[in-house]
Amino acid sequence: MDIIERYLEEVLVANETTNLTRIVSRESAEILHIEDSLSGLNYINEAPGGPYVDLGTGGGFPGVPLAVKTGRDTLLVDSVKKKTAIIQGIVDKLGISNVSTYAGRIEDLGREMPSHFAVATARALSQLPSLMELASPLLFEGGLLICYKSHLSDEERNHALSLEDKLGLKCIHEDTFTLSDGETTRCMFVMQKFKDAEVKLPRKTGLAQKRPLK
Ligand code: SAM
């Protein structure tokens, strides 16, 4: 069993006592966690060299599979300490030495490590305008934000595109495909940082998700 499979197995066992993921069957998790996470590999490989951050990592997806495959220094961020503590314990046990965790808000990380990362991912976290606002301060110029969306409405897409200049992120890929279960649709929305945001970021904690920029 490879290291990613072993990681998944540990997460599913831990999930019996702590809520890390709603996907409990091994068969579904193979597709919805491992295959889906790794569908971001081609995009992450386009990013410049440097550290990688997974925003709102939950049970460590897509962060851990992408960290293992790319070997990048990886930080998994989640505001729920119980989750990051479990994930840290599992990566330590498996000797995945390029992965560490940050228990806290993404906005606080943005204050502590501005322009530090070459790539950020976000799956099942927020709408695109919020993701752009949260990720922009963390990325250095040229860095990529890879958003895993299940469905993208015209309204959400257009709102995101209208914020490109304000947040310094430009869409470079928008791809939709189906996973191997034949039914799960994945939309990848990939943005590149081309300048610093025109507004001071991070705003007050919580605002990016509660009151997205217009
Ligand atoms: N990315 C994982 C996945 O796709 O399986 C987990 C998705 S889960 C629905 C969203 C996670 O984001 C939760 O664990 C939540 O605690 C975390 N989260 C939401 N907003 C956050 C913020 N502003 N800073 C840090 N973590 C946040």
- State whether ipTM is beyond 0.90: yes
**How far, in Å, CA of 2 to CA of 181, rounded?**
21
Q: Is the CB of 36 under 6 A from ligand 1?
A: no
Is the CB of 78 inside a 6 Å radius of any atom of ligand 1?
A: yes
Cβ 94 vs Cβ 7: under 8 Å: yes
What residues form DSSP beta bridges with 88?
none
pLDDT at 38: 98
Residue 168 CA to residue 197 CA, distance in Å, equals 5
User: Is 106 marked as binding a ligand?
Assistant: yes
The Cα–Cα gap between 61 and 73 comes to: 15
Give the tokens for residue 169.
């992120």
What's the confidence (pLDDT) of residue 57? Answer: 98
Specify the CATH architecture of the domain 3-210. Answer: 3-Layer(aba) Sandwich (3.40)
**Whether residue 106 has pLDDT greater than 80:** yes
Q: What confidence tens digit (pLDDT) does each residue in 197-209 have?
A: 999 999 999 999 9
Per-residue pLDDT of 146-173, as tens digits, reads 999 999 999 999 999 999 999 999 999 9
What lies within 8 Å, CB to CB, of 25 at 6+ separation is none
- The response to whether 157 counts as a known ligand-binding position is no
Is beta strand 117-123 parallel, antiparallel or unpaired with respect to 169-178?
unpaired
Q: Give the separation between CA 172 and CA 58, rounded to whole angstroms.
A: 26
Query: Could you identify the atom of ligand 1 that is nearest to the CA of residue 125?
Result: 10
Q: Has residue 1 got a pLDDT over 90?
A: no
Say if CB 18 and CB 83 are below 8 A apart: yes
187-192 average pLDDT score: 98
Is 56 annotated in a binding site? The answer is yes
For atom 12 of ligand 1, the residue with the nearest CA is 56
Is pLDDT at 180 greater than 90 in this prediction? yes
The CA 44 to ligand 1 mean position distance, Å, reads 20
Q: What are the pLDDT digits (tens) for 50-105?
A: 999 999 999 999 999 999 999 999 999 999 999 999 999 999 999 999 999 999 99
Locus of tokens 């000797």: 95
